[in-house]
Amino acid sequence: MQDSFPSLSLCSIYGAIAFYLEHQVAIEAYLRRREQEAIELGRMIEGRPEITAFRERLRHRRAQLLSASRPT
């Protein structure tokens, strides 16, 4: 792990691991909550009309590009 993150000391790495092991239940609950919040935010963003319209414009443009690149 230290090879991947040379700015971290071994003491910091072991400290983080020890903290996780001591608070594993709370950390896992926090991560589940954050994941659920991210899913809900994604749904909220995806439901916005301007996002739907933008996606449709992208699909239309992609179809145009694909049909233009096909040999005739």
* All structural domains of the chain with their residue ranges: 10-69
The percent of the chain in helix, strand and coil, each rounded to the nearest 5, is 80, 0, 20
pLDDT higher than 70, residue 65 = yes
Give mean pLDDT, residues 53-70. Answer: 90
- 0.95 cut: is pTM over it? no
12 closest CA partner among 2, 21, 3, 22: 2
pLDDT higher than 80, residue 54 = yes
